[in-house]
Amino acid sequence: MMTLLILFFPLIASILVFASGNNLASKVALLLAAAELAITVYVYSVYKQTGADSFYYFKEWISNPKISFHLGMDGLSLLMVILTNFLTPIIILSAFNRNIENAKAYFSLILFMQFALIGVFIAYDGLLYYIFWELALIPIYFIALRWGGPNRVPVTLKFFIYTLAGSLLMLFGFIMLYHYNPSHSFDIRELYDNASKICSCNQSWLFWMFFLAFAIKIPIVPFHTWQADTYKEAPTQGTMLLAGIMLKMGTYSLLRWLLPVVPAGVAQWGPLAITLCVIGIVYASVIAIMQKDLKKLFAYSSVAHVGLIAAGIFSLNIQGFQGSVVQMMAHGVNVVGLFFCADIIFNRTKSLQVEGLGGIRNVAPQFNTMFMIVVLGSVALPLTNGFIGEFLLLFGVYEYNTWLSVFSGLTIILGAVYMFRMFQRVMLGNTSETTSVFKDLMWNEKIVLAIIAITIIVMGIYPKPVFDMAQPALQSILDKVIIK
């Protein structure tokens, strides 16, 4: 029951927010998102006592073809749900003190998005999962299209079609799986148990169908060209949802729906996939150096970070897996922080061009400190959350192949280059005309950034709860991937 509650509460919340009218919408949304977070905390405490078993929910849905309403939360799913429900209220709070037209629809869509995202993370039936996966695209499409920047129409269309094309491949993949699987089912247990019964040539096709869908969503170079423009054009909260949570759908799905489902395909094509990821890390980092637009810079840095997450997953060892989970959480928090800082700057100066800014530190010391902490988390300084993730991921890749690790390790140098270059041009130096009237943080901004900064440091010092939760789930996935 807890599982159903945690899934459907945001849906109900979304309707309530829509009904509450434009004036109240943001407050009601925050309240309900906070309530959902409270439910999550309760679920976490139950999980600590009883483990994952109490969260399975199974109901026959369609008998032929056999599709069931199968939900569940093991440590991995629950961590993703925690990330989603932790970030959603922050994202909503970040929209306070901003003029948003038609607020009831905006916040309602954000909560609807939350519903779909949770669905993706806890669906244990292939088709149900696919439905949530597609459902998540709808609210973000409207958010970007309705509240986006001046160039939003073509950019959003490209984003929508591109990811939809990926999803279509995944749908074919699921149909193929259903067909080749002797038990003819979409249920994850059946898919896992019968993974070895599908011949490796079919698994090879299946691998690419799923991998492409996920690679576009993550995105892994060269499937990333929709991303920078979309991040730039989408409204801040949309970008936060996209970068903070939605792209974790891709990396989560690699762990849940790719590796254990087609292990023979992974054995065949994994090396190519990890090479792509690693190339992408360096490629995106290099591009980020000369980016002039703040949001695009963060977008490319995000490509580099998630590339490393995916590389850690394809390194097929427990360090890489654990690193990927920690980094999914860390990146979610940090990237929301980064885009919020960009939003704060844009809100004051109406500019995101790195060159025209500068000297903000002189007039906004509080903002400076917070931004600095987020940047440090992002460049993976030890004792921040980013370090734990990058250390384990790079070590995971090292165990897989030394040279790939050396190459992807360049990201710690390049990351410092583009982040500090950006920080210097935006924050330091003499105050320019555009930045001289820069107001320091408002109350909601203070709360949001303080929560993010504290999370960055606490997770960096004591990441153990994340490891403990993820460990059983990751170990069981690993056991299924490594074919003995």
Partner 1 sequence: MLTDSSLIAPGMLIPLFPLIGFLINGLFGKYLPKSITGWIASLAVLASFCCVFYMFTNLPSTGSLHIDLFNWIGFANFNISFGYLIDPLSITMMLVVTGIGFLIHVYSIGYMHDDEGVTRFFTYLNLFIFFMLLLVIGSNYLVMFIGWEGVGLCSYLLIGYWFKNDAFNDAAKKAFVMNRIGDLGFLLGMFFILFNFGSLDYAEVMKQASLLPVGSALLVTITLLLFVGATGKSAQIPLYTWLPDAMAGPTPVSALIHAATMVTAGIYMITRSGVLYAMAPFSMEIVAIVGVATCLMAAIIGLMQNDIKKVLAYSTVSQLGLMFAALGIGAFASGMFHLVTHAFFKALLFLGSGSVIHALHGEQDIRKMGGLSKYIKVTFITFLIGSIAISGIPPFAGFFSKDEILSKAFEHSKIIWAILSISSMMTAFYMFRLVYLTFFNDFRGTEVTKKHIHESPSTMTIPLIILAVLSIFGGFIGLPSVLGFAHKFQQYLSAVTAPAQHILDESHAAEVSHSTEWILIFTAVIAAIASILYARYKYISNKEQPAEDASLTGINKMVYNKFYVDEIYETCIVKPLKVLSDLFLVLIDKLVIDLVVNATAWVVGLSGRTLRLVQNGNTGFYVFAMVFGIIVLFVIRLFI
Distances (CA, A) of 142 to 109, 113, 114: 8, 11, 14
Distance CA 182, CA 294 (A): 51
The two three-digit tokens of residue 360, written as one number = 């903000």
Minimum Å gap between C-beta 288 and partner 1 is 8
CA distance 302 to 306: 6
The verdict on 463 binding partner 1 (CB under 8 A) reads yes
**Would you count residue 30 as binding partner 1 (CB under 8 A)?**
no
Instruction: Tell me if 317 sits within 8 A of 399, measured CB to CB.
Output: yes
Q: Least Å distance between CB 204 and partner 1?
A: 22
Q: Please say which residue, 104 or 425, places its beta carbon nearer to partner 1.
A: 425
> Of 185 and 405, which has the nearer Cβ to partner 1?
405
- x/- contact string, 208-227, with partner 1 (CB under 8 A)? -------------xx--xx-
Closest approach, Cβ 274 to partner 1, in A, equals: 16
Choosing from 105, 329, 412, 426, the residue that interacts with partner 1 (CB under 8 A) is: 412
CA distance 245 to 9: 18
The one-letter code for the residue type at 441 is: L
Q: Give the residue from 231, 235, 234 showing the smallest Cα distance to 298.
A: 231
DSSP 293: B
Smallest distance, Å, CB 387 to partner 1?
8
User: By the 8 A CB rule, do 142 and 109 touch?
Assistant: yes
374 Cβ contact list (under 8 Å, min separation 6):
334, 337, 338, 341, 449, 452, 453, 456
Region 416-455 residues binding partner 1, contact defined as CB under 8 A: 416-417, 420-421, 424, 428-430
The SS3 call for residue 60 is: strand
Total binding residues toward partner 1, as defined by CB under 8 A? 54
Q: Measured between alpha carbons, how far is residue 465 from residues 45, 272, 348, 435 in Å? A: 12, 33, 38, 41
According to CB under 8 A, which residues from 375 to 404 bind partner 1?
Answer: 376, 381-383, 388, 391-392, 394-395, 398-399
Shorter beta-carbon distance to partner 1: residue 36 or 229 = 229
Site map (CB under 8 A) of partner 1, residues 316-335, x = contact: --xx--x-------------
Reduced to 3 states, what is the DSSP secondary structure of residue 68? strand
Residue 131 interacting with partner 1 (CB under 8 A): no
Give me the least distance between CB of 467 and partner 1, in Å please: 4
Binding site for partner 1 (CB under 8 A): 158, 161-162, 221-222, 225-226, 283, 286-291, 318-319, 322, 359, 361-362, 376, 381-383, 388, 391-392, 394-395, 398-399, 405-406, 409-410, 412-413, 416-417, 420-421, 424, 428-430, 461-464, 467-468, 470-471, 475
